[in-house]
Amino acid sequence: MTTAAVAPVRTLPPLEDQRISVRASLHHIGALTRRNLMRIKADPESMLDVLLMPILFTTLFVYVFGGAVSGNQTNYIQYMVPGMLGQIGISLAMAVGTGLNSDFSTGVMDRFRTMPIGRASVLIAKLLAESLRSLVSLVILMAFAMILGLRIHTGPLQLLAALALAMAFGAGMVWVSMLLGMALKNPQAVQGVGLLIVMPLQFGSSTFAPTKTMPGWLQAFTKVNPLSALADSSRALINGGAVLHPALEVLGWSVGLTAVFGPLAVMKFKKRT
């Protein structure tokens, strides 16, 4: 009696070992970005922070601190609102990690694990969706500030450049936030660590007040704080003044954050999925 030969079972290589073309990766990024935007459409309440944060912060800071810092609200709004571009962007960016951490506990990432998509596509799609959310918030900030009395003393191109700088730095911080979201155990830890990062950057800068009255050690920190460079470049683009040096600092920080934390976030994502 002869036994039939059994054909060897052919197994597929792991997803990370499969070669995914650039065209396919772009298609995956587009599809996942649309998915993230559709989730926002299905849950409009997730946009409350984007819509209300710029209005609430601008109102509070202009009318509570305006008189004390600049003597009147008119002068302070020209000083504070350009700095708020970075403050709004970094606050929204750091919230991404909390949502990403929650996705691992809801089974969303288990579904991605079974799909033949590049792992980086998931994170890049989140970055693009968050960039669009940030753009909406920044536009609301500028529109509301103009209602309160903000004046653009340069031109529309300079205003667009200020928005672009804020979005570029926010995109770099999104990579930091996503890495935290995957490295820490729960959303509460991500939110707590993110707050510890955001608070010194926001208030240890020239965003809300001039730095000349600060103690020397704090002034030294504000000089290397990227939010100070972003605030100074945004003021120059909106009110007029020298913009090249602070703008190059912001771009350098944005590229550096992306170059360092982008690959680290992708590597961490691959390990978890």
Angle among Cα 176, 56, 154 to the nearest 5 degrees reads: 80
pLDDT at 19: 66
Quote the tokens at residue 3.
Answer: 């036994």
Which pTM value belongs to this model?
A: 0.86
Query: Residue 27 belongs to what H/E stretch?
Result: helix 22-42
Query: Residue 88 belongs to what H/E stretch?
Result: helix 73-105
Measured CA distances, 226 to 114, 162, 243 (Å): 39, 14, 14
Nearest to 140 by CA among 89, 202, 198: 89
pLDDT at 235: 95
Measured CA distances, 139 to 4, 67, 145, 166 (Å): 71, 25, 10, 12
User: What is the per-residue burial (b if ≥16 Cβ within 10 Å, else e) of 85-108?
Assistant: bbbbbbbbbbbbbbbbbebbeeee
pLDDT at 8: 46
pLDDT at 15: 47
How far apart are the C-alpha atoms of 168 and 226, rounded to whole Å? 12
CB-side exposure of 247: number of CA atoms within 13 Å? 16
How far apart are the C-alpha atoms of 140 and 17, rounded to whole Å? 44
Q: Digits of tens for pLDDT over the chain (273 positions)? A: 444 444 443 444 444 445 677 778 888 888 888 988 888 888 778 788 888 989 998 998 888 887 777 778 888 999 999 999 988 888 888 889 888 888 887 777 767 767 777 778 889 999 999 999 999 999 999 999 999 999 999 999 999 999 999 999 999 999 999 999 999 988 899 999 999 999 999 999 999 888 888 899 999 999 999 999 999 999 999 999 899 999 999 999 999 999 999 999 999 988 877
Task: Say which DSSP state 186 is in.
Answer: S
Distance from the first to the final alpha carbon of the chain: 48
pLDDT at 11: 42
In the numeric block, the tokens 């704090």 are attached to 218
Count of CB atoms situated within 10 Å of the CB of 206: 23
Q: Which amino acid is at 21?
A: S
How far apart are the C-alpha atoms of 83 and 73, rounded to whole Å? 15
Nearest to 269 by CA among 131, 118, 94, 95: 118
Measured CA distances, 141 to 14, 60, 131 (Å): 46, 13, 15
How far apart are the C-alpha atoms of 65 and 103, rounded to whole Å? 39
